[in-house]
Structures are given as structure tokens and as C-alpha cells.
Amino acid sequence: MTSGAPLMETVRLTGGYDGLKVLDGVSMKVLKGEILVIVGRSGCGKSTLMNHLLGLVKPWAGEVLFEGIDIWSDEAVLARARRRWGVLFQSGALLGSLTLLENVMLPLEEFTDLSPSFRVSVAMDKLGKVGLEKFADAYPLEVSGGMQKRAGLARAMSLDPEVLFFDEPSAGLDPVTSAGLDDLILRINRLSGTTMVIVTHELPSIFAISDRVVMLDSSVLGVVAEGTAEQLRDSRGDDRVEAFFGRRAPGADGGQDVS
């Protein structure tokens, strides 16, 4: 499903907020068609890295490349790249005053010249892909949290993005609903080949959907391990990796949850 060529990559990326360095010299790749999951303990820089990848925060140093071009080389380059990405925010970020259908149509109204009837058709197709076509006229508060997440995913897919970014997609969901969302994410990736970058700390999701995992740690302000979830789980020699996948505090004898 994946190709060997990186669709996106960071090259010696350094960045942070308000003078506090969070990432230092991070180089990593996102392969075309893969589901890449970014993991690590709280405060390790997962969200910071995601914000740099999305072009929301400019790095202090280094590059963020999309198809080999630095997205910060020109404002027009960044704008074109963003048009080819979709984002599912942790909360779903739906507008409560709009129906699910109207929420999904928002990007189509802003970025396309499609006729109103065709925008409805496209939005209904996306809602159908996430199993919500029967709830098109419902408002966000009238549906469950899991349905809100799926509606947010439909909106993120409205412009047929080449890359989908997810920020803690399972946050706030019960295990059964979370597993259903994992299945949906995996099915969309396998059917469409859409590249996906996902920040999560949920071990069941990491093993269920990831093709590859990149683990960050604040001790190095960057990457401490990468590989498949199984490779990282079975690796020995780095207490930080063992602690995360064993759900214990580094140096502990075991049992302490670090999620």
C-alpha cells in the first residue's frame, strides 16, 4: 500500500513556543499511502510536530517538505499544500449551529465553484462513507461523540485530500466506539490510499491501524524510536520505549500507567 518515496518529511526541524524549545533537529519521513502514528508521553512534542507538519507553526530552523518542496519557502506554496490536506481535530470542531451536512459542505463552499446541488451531492457521499447519510440533517449536539468524530472525518475528506491528519481521534470515546473509528480509518486508507498522520497514545489504536510508528521523547527533544508497532513493542534496550509500550513509568518495575 505504501511507496518508498516520502510524501512529506521534516529535515533537522527545530521548534517550540514562547522561547521554549520542544523539538531539536528532528528528521522524519511520511511515506505515500501509509498510516504513520506519532506517539510519546505527554509533553514530548507530538502536537508541536503536528502543527509544524500542518504549516500552522513555522519552525525555528530546518524544513518541512511536501513532495520535496519546503512548505515555508513561499506563502503560495504553503496555501497550495494546505488545499491538499484534511484535518480531524481532537474535538471534531463541528459548528453547532449547522447540521452535519452543512458542516461537511463548508470546505466545498469556501474552496470550490461547485453548484449548490453538487456540493450537497459531494457532502452526502462523504457522509455515506462514514455511515452518517441518515443523520445529514441532525445537529452536532443531537448525535453521539463518536458520530461527531465521523462527521468531522467526512468534512476533512470533503476536498479529497491526499493527506489526512488526526489529533487524538479516539479521545473521549468508549472502547467499542474507538475500535469502530479505527476500523473506519483503516478502511478509508486501504480503499483510497490516502496518506494518514495520526497522533495518539491509545495502544489498541496504535496496533490496529499503524503501518509505522515514530516515537518522540522529551529527553532528546525528538525521535527515540521508529518502526512497526510490533517492532517497538518487542524491542529491548531503551527504557523509554519499553515503558511506553509496557504502560509503566521509566525505571519502574511495572504497572504504573503513563497514558
pLDDT band at 2 (very low <50, low <70, confident <90, very high): low
What confidence tens digit (pLDDT) does each residue in 81-127 have? Answer: 999 999 998 767 899 999 999 999 999 999 999 999 999 999 999 99
What H or E segment, with its residue span, contains residue 51?
A: helix 46-53
Which residues make Cβ contacts (< 8 Å) with residue 229, sequence separation at least 6?
37, 206, 207, 210, 213
CB atoms within 10 A of CB 159: 18
CA distance 6 to 31: 4
Helices and strands (H, E) in the chain, number of each type: 9, 10
Give the pairing type, strands 85-88 and 69-70. Answer: unpaired
pLDDT band at 258 (very low <50, low <70, confident <90, very high): very low
Residue among 36, 17, 16 at smallest CA distance from 26: 16
Which residue matches cell numbers 517497538?
232
Per the DSSP assignment, residues forming a β-bridge with 165 are 87, 197
Please name the amino acid found at residue 132. L
What confidence tens digit (pLDDT) does each residue in 198-212 have? Answer: 999 899 999 999 999
- Is 140 a residue whose pLDDT tops 90? yes
What confidence tens digit (pLDDT) does each residue in 35-88 have? Answer: 999 999 988 999 999 999 999 999 999 999 999 999 999 999 999 999 999 999
The answer to whether 226 and 213 are in contact (CB under 8 A) is: yes
pLDDT band at 255 (very low <50, low <70, confident <90, very high): very low
Q: Which domains does the chain have, with CATH numbers?
A: 1-84+165-250 (3.40.50.300), 91-161 (no CATH)
